[in-house]
Chains A and B, each alone.
Chain A
Amino acid sequence: MEFYHTIAEALEGILDIVLFRGKALNASLLLVSIDIPLLVAFVLLAAGGLSKKFVRILAVAGFVAPALISVWLWYVYFVGHYSDYAFASDTPTGLENFGISLKLGLNGISLPLYLLAGIVGLAAGIYAINSKVDRLRQYLILLLFMQGGLMGIFASIDLFFYYFFHEIALIPTFIMIAVWGGRGRRSAAMEMAIYLTLGALLSLIGLLALYSGSGLNSFDIISMREYFSENPLSEIFQDNAYALLLFGFGILVSLWPFHSWAPRAYGAAPAPVAMMHAGVLKKFGLYGLIQIGAPLLPFGASQWTGLLIWLALGNIILIGLATVGQRDLKQMIGYSSVMHMGYAFLGIACFSVIGVGGAVLLMFAHGLSVALLFMLADCIYRRTGTCEMHEMGGLCRKMPVLTCFFAMGVFANAGLPGFANFWGELGIFIGIWKFQPWLIVPAVAGILISALYGLRAARNIFFGDLPKAFDEKTEMGDIRFGERLPALVLLTTLILIGFWPRAISDTLDNNLTALYPSNNPTLVIEEYPIPQDLIFDPLESEKLDENLPPSRL
């Protein structure tokens, strides 16, 4: 009897979701954005005999809806000047004994990443729908599962579901690499599966430690935050729990030296999977450290910072130089994505609003740019049949638009101002100076390295002489609509945020100031008042800033 009662309750819950009962529209939309991809996936899974065209249309809906919802919710949040969790909802799951319920909501930290998941998912989805692969239906089903998981990760307030959605997104990754991957897919998928399962396991233990440490019998991050701010955990506990989270998440984010799965897996993965994993799913770990790990375990974070810095420098310098030595395009992009994770770790190590804010901005930007590069690398591979960069050359003559996109991706990756990446890197550099001034030297050297391999790749692939073998290939055309659209989506977002970072940084700033200390520079100028008699030649001026003396020149 008990059993049926629970089932009925669960059904009631589903009806609540479907009919938007008892919730504000935006809160329901958050849930819908997770449900639609999963629902479409189930429909495709159940209905085997659908025509390819119909499968494509359904899948488009499964990717477009979350993207639109994410943009809409960003807009509402931004315009509404929220400063904490908004769009909160709580759906019963039947696991209340353990304090688990599907609590969803967005704050300023998760909002950019939620938006990222929507946009990159859309781009990867469109690219996948238009690509010619065997067993398209199964391919799309798995991608839709990934998409549902991605949307869920950053929308969860409940730690259990945060982890749960990660697994939903992660498992299809292994399968897709093993089934649809390129050269060496089996071993790459295997290595990745072992590695990431280990990382996930460690971080799960860390999360469970938080759960049991609080004794609240709740996975709710908000109540944990409130509880821990009044009753901080013992130092030993914090130390160990943070280590679990740091290394667990570190493995998932390819922290040096736990990164070796990444280049191989990305090199072998089908493009949409690489886009979604490197672009979004990988940010799970960084997001966990920023939203959960460091604020809840500040002492633990401070204890492990020293080591984290050195490992992050390993990412930036060692992997950066290893990237320069790569000859295979996809491998190179894979290494480059590992390298940039070092920046994000550095930002987290700063433990200040500037550094962490820079890290979040960089995560957002890097997700877009690396997805763009993986997609374009796949476009190039499909045209030339090779990923060896020294076998290519002069392709700009055949595909000028593709060249333009690739060059933009490379420059974004190298942190050129005008692209979102610049703001992230700048924030991290500024933050790191306050933490340890000397660290800025290796950190900034990274922008030189990423320009070096990026421009070299662009030069080797697109410029100079066109090899004979390519010259004769007449079918090598420029970028097609199905490739141009996702590229445009990604690039436009990069440039929009690059020109106007406040679109995400304002809300981010609001939220981070509650969790991290702010570093204000000492305004030296206030200590040195300007004697009026020393100002000569005061010129008439239309100054808005009244405190400034007129310029002498």
Chain B
Amino acid sequence: MSLTQILLVILLAPLASALLTIVFFRRKGSVASVLSVGAAGIVMLFSLYALYFSEVKTLHVSCNWLSLGGLSISMGFHFNQLSALMLLVVSFVGFWIHLFSMGYMADDEARGRYFGGLSFFMFSMLGIVLADNLFMLFIFWELVGFSSYLLIGHYFEKNSAAEAAKKAFLVNRVGDFGFLIGIIWCYWHYGTVDLAELESLLFLNPNLLITGMGLCLLCGVLGKSAQMPLHVWLPDAMEGPTPVSALIHAATMVAAGVYFLCRVYFIFTQDVLMVIAWVGAITAIFAAFSALAQNDIKRILAFSTLSQLGYMVAIFGVGTQAGVAEMLEFGFYAGVAAAMFHLTTHAFFKALLFLGSGSIINACHHEQDIFKMGGLYRRMPWTFLFFTIGVIAISGVPWIGAGFWSKDPILYLALKSNAPIYGILAFSAILTALYMGRLWFIVFFGEAKSESAENAKESSIFMVLPLAVLGLGSTFIGGMVQLYPAGVQQLLEKLPEAHGADHTLMVALSAGFSILGLVGAMLYYKPGASEDRLNKFAPRLFAFLKARLYFDEIYGWYIEKIQQPVAELLGFFDQLFISGLMVRGTAGLTGLVGIFVRATHVGSLHGYVYWFFGGLLLFWALAAGWF
């Protein structure tokens, strides 16, 4: 099989599974789940084959999908190192989360809908990964938003889930508003939206770049990767089933924004890169603070996701800007490589943490408050083990966790090129270890603090096996660049690496950050605590952190106090003024017609019909000169 065919199979297998499920297996949950997991398995196998065994490493094919007078929109594959790495993440992590879902959703009545949605998500996500031009990317970008809507709203009976799904789609649409404008701008300005053509054009002619266009394209990233100020949908999206949170709202979809940035790294001017760096850094620290004030296990992880995405966005901005300014010895792609590598390890350990939390939530009968858990390390040893690996990975403990290997280059690159942003990211690193430590000590140690936690049991093999695989990937094994396929080696070689004294310094700093955070959490929160110490001693500070800078309140206020009244006023105005005064004010005309109608009003439908045809025939006959 040629690479094109392999990629086609990868893209279309989940679509076929989704369609079959919708048409035939809506009510047969078990068939749907097997079908969906099978499709994900095919995707994984074909991807691994393509990545490790295929001779061809890059590919650019496209076919025309719509042409209208000069405009031609095409569909195709642009397969290079970036998409290879992303394909690896999506297909590998995706498959194990599918498998986990089989166990997690076993009792759900609407499994057909769930697995259909999951397959459709895989289809749309793979479309983003492989897209060869911006229009195609936009199409799948929106489809991903749609499948996210479907899956967040899985428990639609709950008002909160219904609201969250709607909010997620609409906030993403706000981002897509700018995104689409940027794409069309790009089309008319450069005459092409093909990624390869744009790259060769803009890489060599940076004077052609436009700041405004970059900012428009950035809007899409803000929405999809939940960066400030469009981050509000992601915490609420945790209303969806936990595997969905793991797959879509941690590992893949939200990372699509970062992937997109790296994919079009050549399109941003220095100013835009500066904006990107600061947006990412602010999101990283803001979300890390917010995570400290959450009690819901999934929400803590959601804010942690926001924070880590902020890392990736920030380092993309910082690194690429440094490359553009030719400031450094790192080379042009240091930012891209650092962001993509962190994306990869993050996908592993964050999916692991979410699935671990899913395992806990399932065992505790859908209890999500960490202060009602406790003592779970005895009852769920395997989950405890793998969750611990995840905590180590995300905290960046030197050498053993995957996160260390990807966070280290980020911090080093930031240190060398932008000191203020380094400061923010380093402080977020301490906070990361702190909130993860808080979660870990409270959930797993001490005494069980609710009946459901007391009765918790280890989950089934379907759920533990994916934890084991992802756990393995979250250890230093996931951080070993040599294990990645040859097709992405060139990209990963560009990771900034510290040498000599710098190296020692970076390791010492990383160790310091992670230990400071974890030990700080242990000392401050006390393992197995039954209430939040910060909340007890500084309730105002806790409330402030919990309020997340009042973004939701501000948006809510805007919708309720401005948008809705304006809409209703316009509706009222429309009915009263235009319809009422202008139209019915011409009552004389109405009256005239009324008189006419009354004269012909014979009370039966036949009457009208005969009137109509009689008149018609008469006119016709006159016109034709029959008389």
Interface residues of A (CB under 8 A from B): 3, 6-7, 45, 93-95, 97-98, 135, 138, 141-142, 171, 175, 179, 190-191, 193-195, 257, 259-261, 264, 318-319, 321-326, 335, 352-354, 357-358, 394, 396-397, 411, 416-418, 422-423, 426-427, 429-430, 433-434, 437, 440-441, 444-445, 447-448, 451-452, 455-456, 459, 462-465, 501-502, 505-506, 508-509, 512-513, 516-525, 528, 530-531, 534, 537, 539-545, 548-553
B139 touches A430 (CB 8 A): no
- Closest B-chain residue to A548, C-beta based? B196
B contact residues around A45 at 8 Å (CB)? 606, 609
The answer for the CA separation of A418 and B570 in the assembled complex, in Å, is 32
Most chain B C-beta atoms within 10 Å of own C-beta, residue among A257, A427, A505, A552 = A552
Q: Which of B177, B184, B208 contacts A448 (CB 8 A)?
A: B177
Would A194 and B67 count as touching, CB distance under 8 A? no
Interface status of B369 (Cβ within 8 A of chain A): no
Q: Is the CB of A544 within 8 A of B69?
A: no
How far apart are the CA atoms of A518 and B69 in the complex, in Å? 5
Cα distance, A325 to B565, chains bound together (Å):
8
Contact B60 A544 (CB under 8 A): yes
B626 touches A6 (CB 8 A): yes
Q: Is the CB of A260 within 8 A of B583?
A: yes
**When chains A and B are docked, how far (Å) is the Cα of A513 from the Cα of B208?**
31
In the complex, besides A418-B146, A463-B153, A464-B156, 12 extra interface pairs with C-beta distance below 8 angstroms are A94-B626, A142-B605, A322-B570, A322-B573, A325-B568, A358-B68, A441-B181, A505-B67, A506-B67, A521-B71, A525-B192, A553-B491
Closest-CB distance, B335 to chain A (whole angstroms): 12
How far does the Cβ of A403 sit from chain B's closest Cβ, in whole Å?
A: 8
**Given A447-B177, A542-B56, A548-B60, also A6-B624 (CB < 8 A):** yes
Q: Give complex CA distance A537, B590 in Å.
A: 78
User: In the complex, what distance in Å separates the CA atom of A331 from the CA atom of B2?
Assistant: 54
Partner of B56, one of A417, A540, A545: A540
State the Cβ distance, B53 to closest chain A Cβ, in Å: 15
Q: How far is the CA of A537 from the CA of B265 in the complex (A)?
A: 18
Q: Which of B180-195 contact A (CB under 8 A)?
A: 180-181, 184-185, 187-192, 194
Asked if B571 and A326 sit within 8 Å, CB to CB, the answer is: yes
**Are B184 and A430 neighbours in the complex by a CB distance under 8 Å?**
yes
CB distance from A486 to the nearest CB of B (A): 18
A454 to chain B, nearest CB (A): 10
Sample of 8 A–B contacts (CB below 8 Å) = A322-B570, A354-B68, A433-B184, A444-B181, A451-B169, A502-B67, A548-B60, A548-B197
Task: Please tell me if the beta carbons of A433 and B188 are within 8 angstroms of each other in the complex.
Answer: yes
Shortest distance between the CB of A545 and any CB in chain B (Å): 6
Please indicate which of the listed interface residues B59, B68, B191 has the most CB atoms of chain A within 10 Å of its own CB.
B68
Residue of B265, B609, B620 ringed by the most chain A CB atoms within 10 A: B609
A524–B159 touching, CB < 8 Å: no
Cβ of B498 within 8 Å of any chain A Cβ, yes or no, is no
Contact of A98 among B82, B199, B201, B623 (CB under 8 A): B623
Chain B positions 417-468 with a Cβ under 8 Å from a chain A Cβ: none
Contacts of B30 in A (CB 8 A): none
Whether a CB of chain A sits under 8 angstroms from the CB of B333 is yes
Which B residues are closer than 8 A to A by beta carbons? 2-4, 55-62, 64-71, 73, 78, 80-82, 135, 138-140, 142-143, 146, 149, 153, 156-159, 161-163, 165-166, 169-170, 173-174, 176-177, 180-181, 184-185, 187-192, 194, 196-197, 199-201, 203-205, 208, 262, 265, 333, 336, 490-491, 563-564, 566-575, 578-579, 582-584, 589-590, 593-594, 605-606, 608-609, 612, 620, 623-627
- Closest-CB distance, A523 to chain B (whole angstroms): 4
Q: How far is the CB of A177 from chain B (nearest CB, A)?
A: 13
Report A364 CB to chain B, min CB distance, Å.
13
Residues of A within 8 A of B58 (CB): 539-543, 550-551
Complex: A261 Cα to B609 Cα, angstroms: 24
Rank and list the top 4 A-B pairs by shortest CB-CB distance, nearest first. Answer: A353-B69, A463-B162, A325-B567, A260-B579
